[in-house]
Amino acid sequence: MKIRLATDADRDAIWSIFHEVVAAGDTYALDPNISREDALAYWFAPSTHTYVAEIDRESVGEADSFPGTATPSRTANPNHVTAGTYILRPNQSGGGAHVANAGFMVSASARGQGIGRAMAEHCLSEAHRLGFRAMQFNYVISTNTVAIRLWQDLGFEIVGTLPSAFRYPDKGYVDVYVMFRSLL
Amino acid sequence: MKIRLATDADRDAIWSIFHEVVAAGDTYALDPNISREDALAYWFAPSTHTYVAEIDRESVGEADSFPGTATPSRTANPNHVTAGTYILRPNQSGGGAHVANAGFMVSASARGQGIGRAMAEHCLSEAHRLGFRAMQFNYVISTNTVAIRLWQDLGFEIVGTLPSAFRYPDKGYVDVYVMFRSLL
């Protein structure tokens, strides 16, 4: 697996993953019908560092065996596919700019291979390198136990609970966590 | 005091208050050097409801007696000055759009007259009218005791603490609170 800064050549692959994740409507508080243009403007916003995770083609699951999920996108290198993407940015401006925020997306057919964890570890290292003093996740849906366990394993703590702040497409209202980790 | 939706004619008055509040650098995590264009784009963003509070001219303190603070701005009505402004918007999109977020700014020379409280009560009423189920403040600086007391008095609770998440221009790092209130 290789994790690197994204370029314009990665936009198709990123949109493919972004669309798949957001259309599901169960992990991000974003409009499931967000346009490609708005999605890429968000993922490549000013002050945002955008990364992709590439894996060898042979380690990719066949799309056919995951009905309804997208195939990881081919990259410029025909031996690699883009399996995930993440962003790293200041969570606030001015007096809050020393706290980083990050967001992660993994292609459904590439899950269970540690790509989320690898990107998170890469992200913490990059945040440290860029001089951030802490990292905050503003919106971790309480039913996303896989993500919560991963963040806790990486040193994040739940520092806040937002009651019924997320409406699941099918499960109704659930709590949302704010998670935080010092980088000092 | 009259609180109403802002129009384009209020942009000068809003920028005057916004600039004063943000340049102080002690209540908002925004770039103290933000441009007028970026500030107004933020305050009048899509999906954002923008309001102003007007007061009679005779109830305005003289700017001379508050060195370094701006005079509340004249409005289109010569008998009124714009003493404060607030925004109301969804805190997130998609499955998080039922929770409102709001931001308040009061001109320094108009403080201590209950304008913040009046705008907050107006805001809660508007949020209820617009169908929001809750209101969340993402970033209440822990040393801003006047605001915290007001929010608690209006039914908000501290639901999260972000350690050392704000760097004061002079006091160093301080905690930040996430505050939340149901509207049901």
For the stretch B142-152, pLDDT in tens is 999 999 999 99
- Which of B108, B125, B3 shows the shortest CA–CA distance to B55? B3
Query: Closest to A94 (Cβ–Cβ): which among B29, B91, B94?
Result: B29
At CB < 8 Å, which residues of chain A contact B? 22, 25-26, 28-32, 34, 91-99, 133-134, 136, 138-139, 159-169, 176, 178, 180, 182
Sorting pLDDT into bands at 50, 70 and 90, what band is B25? confident
Is 70 exceeded by the pLDDT of residue A119? yes
Residue B66 has a pLDDT of: 42
Cα atoms in the 13 Å half-sphere on the side-chain side of B182: 4
ipTM for the complex shown: 0.87
Determine which of A156, A167, A175 to mutate to test the interface with B (most B C-beta atoms within 10 Å). A167
List, in order, residues 6 or more apart from B7 with CB less than 8 Å away: none
pTM of the model: 0.89
Residue A7 or residue A74, greater confidence? A7
Is 80 exceeded by the pLDDT of residue B33? yes
Taking contacts as CB-CB distances below 8 angstroms, the residues of chain B near A170 are none
Residue B79 has a pLDDT of: 80
Asked whether the beta carbons of residue B161 and residue A159 sit closer than 8 angstroms, the reply is yes
**Dihedral sign (CA B173, B174, B175, B179):** negative
Over range B21-39, report the average pLDDT. Answer: 94
At CB < 8 Å, which residues of chain B contact A? 22, 25-26, 28-32, 34, 91-99, 133-134, 136, 138-139, 159-169, 176, 178, 180, 182
Is 70 exceeded by the pLDDT of residue A110? yes
Is 90 exceeded by the pLDDT of residue B5? yes
Asked whether the beta carbons of residue B32 and residue A139 sit closer than 8 angstroms, the reply is no
**Nearest-angstrom CA–CA distance, A83 and A70:** 11
Q: What is the residue-wise DSSP string for A137-149?
A: EEEEETT-HHHHH
Over range A139-150, report the average pLDDT. Answer: 95
Question: How is residue A48 written in tokens?
Answer: 């945002």
Number of inter-chain CB pairs under 8 A, A vs B: 105
Q: What is the residue-wise DSSP string for B43-107?
A: HT-TT-EEEEEEEEGGGSPPGGGSTT-PPPEE-SSTTEEEEEEEEEEESSSGGGTTEEEEEEEE-
Burial class (CB in 10 A: 0-12, 13-18, 19+), B77: exposed
pLDDT tens, A40-84? 999 999 999 999 999 987 665 544 434 444 555 555 566 889 999
Q: What is the residue-wise DSSP string for A98-113?
A: TEEEEEEEE-GGGTTS
